[in-house]
Amino acid sequence: MNNESMKERLVELIEPLVKDRFMELVSLDFSGNGYVRIVIDRIKGPVSIDDCAEINRAALRLLEEKGLDYSVEVSSPGINRPLYKPADFERFAGKKVKVVLREKIEGENVIYGKLEGLRDGKIVINRDGADILVGTEAVKKARIDEDVF
């Protein structure tokens, strides 16, 4: 089984386990050398160390039951959480974001601003009182860009 197929299988196994605990599987990375990195988030409120430990134990148990011998790391997405799915752009409306584009829009390939959500399937970012609309296909990567201090 190739790495991409194995990653898909791991997501199919792990995602229900995470959802059953009222959390979201933000991402799953599979290195192919027996290492799985799982990033989880709570739908409401922050992820705790106990949440990460619980998912880690449950994932290891499940993988062992399936005959899969992997090391597992579970973490929260952190304060500067990545945004992947259209639902992420709705959920985190009101937050400051950094969006890296595949190609320049209005002469820029990085946009900083306040996330307003989605409008007609496009991401809306408000910068200096003006809305910038970005198609989801134009986004290389996006994340919350909150100041820590």
Query: Cβ(74)–Cβ(107) under 8 Å?
Result: no
Q: Is 80 exceeded by the pLDDT of residue 3? A: no
Statement: the pTM of the whole predicted model exceeds 0.85 = no
Q: Domains along the chain?
A: 3-75 (3.30.300.20), 86-144 (2.30.30.100)
Q: Is 80 exceeded by the pLDDT of residue 148? A: no
* DSSP assignment string, the chain: --HHHHHHHHHHHHHHHHHTTTEEEEEEEE-SSSEEEEEEEESSSPPPHHHHHHHHHHHHHHHHHTT---EEEEE---TT-B--SHHHHHHTTTSEEEEEEEEEETTEEEEEEEEEEEETTEEEEEETTEEEEEEGGGEEEEEE-----
Both structure tokens of 94: 């009101």
51-104: pLDDT as tens digits = 999 999 999 999 999 999 999 999 999 989 999 999 999 999 999 999 999 999
